[in-house]
Amino acid sequence: MCRIMRLTLLALMLLPLSLRADDSTVDFDADVAFSSFRTFAIKDGKIDSTRPEVNNSIVINALKKTIRDELTVRGLKETPDKPDVVIQYIVEATEYSVGSGGRANPIGPARGGRGGRGDPTGTPVDFIEGTLVIDVSTSQPALLVWRGVYRDDEKNSAKFAQKLAGDAKKLLAQYPPKKKS
């Protein structure tokens, strides 16, 4: 009985750490011959955040550079004309405040609430939930063949923005997918 109580206590102590951990998933079409892809192009991505720390040219350029570098290391060459695959990315960042009872409530104009710096209600931001999606699609015909999703919770939007390029690198470390035996 004592051992079960210790294990339960340990699990309860580790639970908050697991809730705050980064999370990533990769999905791909197992029927695609990824080794046949030689060239790529990066389309302009979408950043869904009103926060200037996240939605600015420095963050966008760092993200594009990381994607470019990671694909080049994997043997692909960037080309503007007739690439084998096209890369798109989406970044979303939602601010949350923690209300009574520990419930997280989204704040900010993009989510229909109010809050953030300069907001008349002065709702404090307790954490940012950010998501980075990187899609790899064939160009002719346009078919999604690989998708990486990285979720990250950070204390503030500046920290989230600083980690985006590293998060992209972690995702693209799983490209091309390994063949299952």
pLDDT tens digits, 39-95 = 999 999 999 988 899 999 999 999 999 999 999 999 999 999 999 999 999 999 988
pTM assigned to the model: 0.78
At residue 115, the pLDDT reads: 42
Share of the chain above pLDDT 90, in %: 61
Mean pLDDT of all residues in 151-170:
94
Check pLDDT > 80 for residue 148. Answer: yes
- Which range, of 4-8, 30-34, 51-55, 79-83, averages the lowest pLDDT? 4-8
Domain ranges (residues) in the chain = 22-172
pLDDT category of residue 14 using cuts at 50, 70 and 90: very low
* Fold adopted by 22-172: Double Stranded RNA Binding Domain (3.30.160)
Between CA 108 and CA 144 the distance in angstroms is 32
At residue 140, the pLDDT reads: 84
| Percent of residues in the chain assigned helix, strand, coil, to nearest 5 | 35, 35, 35
pLDDT category of residue 13 using cuts at 50, 70 and 90: very low
Those residues with Cβ within 8 angstroms of residue 169's Cβ, 6 or more apart along the chain or in another chain: 66, 70
Check pLDDT > 60 for residue 5. Answer: no
Helix (H), strand (E) at residue 92: strand 85-98
Between CA 89 and CA 87 the distance in angstroms is 7
